[in-house]
Amino acid sequence: MTVPTRARQRAADLRAQLNQHNYRYYVLDDPIISDPEYDRLLRELQDLEASYNELVTADSPTQRVGAEPLSSFEEVKHEVPMLSLSNAFDENEVIAFDRRIRERIDVDLVEYVAEPKVDGLAISLSYERGVLVRGATRGDGMTGEDVTQNVKTIRSIPLRLLGKKHPRLIEVRGEVFMTHQGFLTLNQRQSSAGLKEFVNPRNAAAGSLRQLDPKLTAERPLQMFCYALGEVDDGHMPESQFELLQQLCDWGLAVSPLAELVEGVEQCLAYYHRMVDQRESLAYPIDGIVYKVNNLSLQQSLGSVSRAPRWALAHKFPAQEETTVVKAIEVQVGRTGAITPVARLEPVFVGGVTVSNATLHNRAEIERLDLRIGDTVVVRRAGDVIPEVVNVVKKRRPRAAKRFQFPIRCPVCHSEIVYEGGEGIIARCSGGLYCSAQRKEHLKHFVSRRAMDIDGLGDKIIDQLVEAGMVQNIADLYALTVEQLAGLDRLADKSAQNLVDALEHSKQTTLQRFLFALGISQVGETTARQLADHYGSLESIMNATENDLQSLTDIGPIVATNIYTFFRQSHNKQVIGKLRRWGVMWPETGTIHRESAKLPLSGKTIVLTGTLSAMARNEAKARLQDLGAKVAGTVSSKTDYVIVGAEPGSKATKAEQLGVEILDEKQFIKLLTKLGSQ
């Protein structure tokens, strides 16, 4: 059916009007029409689209809800990691943060943007040519979940950006949250329907956004404030954080109306105290203040450490505290053998959850508190931090209160407990891989998704394998047979075969994953990646001295000692040898390996722009990096090549202006073929 020109124009006009009214209502909080008037416009557009299906567009306000329920969420890899923030809990930590910034950039006064830290769920929104194409959760910072259909139901999120000249691709990041009133209304509805009520607005927001049925998410009162960018391709962007917030607002995205430009640490702290006073009167929950260096170029030069940017800090509000009674003190054995005392408490509601356990950290902490079993204590919970005992109310100490005797032997395997660190504060079981508590936790860590990613090998199966004596260490996993596994509870032949297949599949891994999977104390994913990238081979890491290891950025003396000591233990070497003999392998890469191999593009800086038809951009980037190239996001005089695909943007223009060599896709493929054969 041919769509009349008048109908096509009217539909476009209605979409523009509705998008503008959404912007005024959700972003500016300044509506100019009533709700019934808005509904009449929306109904008119719905009727037009029903009459002419060709008028329906992905960014139409009528398309916010309508997708079918999902069976599960797909994974999304963040091209630019979604970093978490370092926390400060007192003013001295904020002052120290400001001092570090000033010393690094050599200035007397730093300009910051301060805004409330909304207590919600971090989300990224990707727009291509101004149209929303993907919404994803933060996840672990590297990989999240695709919740596109759900974020489309949130009316403060535009399906199409306002204005013109948007970047070809732009990823906007922010926080999805629920207001206090929305939370109360939702819980009233849950209660009336006989359903479980949510504990707090943050849990309600997270649970609502992760509904497999978008229609359920649409019923929840969710909102979003935006505050940062991730991946950006071909577009002029502001030079400061404060200007960025204004730009996001101009594009129709909601930002915090309380964000302010402040100078120096004194104004940061003054802003913090103002927000503490306003906290209870705000319509939405906040749990602190975020300070960010305003100059975006300085943000880039300051960089990040581990998983947190150096240029930003979360100044948390004072944690909620409650009093309760210590019923007992027990010790737990972690997967690295660390012995941690834990207080078993009379259950108490604090920080939005019921707390029945609190960490006591170490033997010295118990002595400092002069804590005894039966004491009344103050318990604090700050955000997602494990609850801790703040102090003892000694005036309420009963006569029968008992001192706690720290054990001299591991409560699980009875091996001797050894002490390390300053003044022997850290207690650790000496049983190593022979301690069943460590064995189970070590195995669970080894098979986890971010380690060796062995699908189907869950906690209960590991418990059975260890308790049956079938697995003594991580290498024994690869000796398991279908017949052995099929004999376990709740594991049929097909499931056993799938598990053996998963074990076989996991043998092809990466050096980074393998290092992380080994469970070396204080070696997380970031440190494992740094080791793999720098040394390139396991043998080089195993032979590195403590001084060598400390030469790497962000690896200090404690972590270097942990790594060095781990690879000097004979039983660890034996297990690694068994793993290699079972066929666990990875491609060797990294700085040292690349230099020794003299890769053809070593020292070259290459920029990609436009759309490639032969491969995705991620694949092109990976292939260039495998050849030794550095793949940058911006063009400069130091750029060696710019690879240009279809519909290139400003990067191609800048390359021409700077005289940088430009390769089209055909030339790029030819280059890969030529260099790949060397």
Instruction: Please pick, among 117, 292, 316, 651, the residue that the annotation labels catalytic.
Output: 117
Helix (H, G, I), strand (E, B) or coil at 371: coil
Give the amino acid at 314. Answer: A
d(CA 536, CA 553): 16
Give the amino acid at 50. Answer: A
Contact 456, 450 (CB under 8 A): no
Between CA 96 and CA 152, with CA 172 as vertex, the angle to 5 degrees is 135
Write the DSSP assignment of 242-288 as a string of letters.
HHHHHHHHHTT----TT-EEEEHHHHHHHHHHHHHHHGGGSSS-EEE
Number of Cβ within a 10 Å radius of residue 241: 24
Within its chain, how far is the Cα of 600 from the centroid? 34
- Cα distances (angstroms) measured from residue 565 to each of 89, 542, 559, 573: 34, 10, 10, 11
Helix (H, G, I), strand (E, B) or coil at 237: coil
Chain position carrying tokens 């309508």:
66
Contact 526, 512 (CB under 8 A): no
Pairing type for strands 320-333 and 312-316 reads unpaired
Those residues whose C-beta lies under 8 Å from the C-beta of residue 357, and which sit 6 or more positions away, are 342, 343, 344, 345, 387
- Cα distances (angstroms) measured from residue 111 to each of 102, 294, 349, 497: 10, 6, 40, 60
d(CA 657, CA 467): 69
Structure tokens of 221? 């009162």
Structure tokens of 393? 């109310």
Extended strands (E) in 8-120: 75-77, 87-88, 111-118
77 is catalytic: no
Helix (H, G, I), strand (E, B) or coil at 32: coil
Which residue(s) pair with 417 in the sheet? 429
Helix (H, G, I), strand (E, B) or coil at 515: helix
Contact 603, 615 (CB under 8 A): no
Q: Catalytic amino acids? A: 117
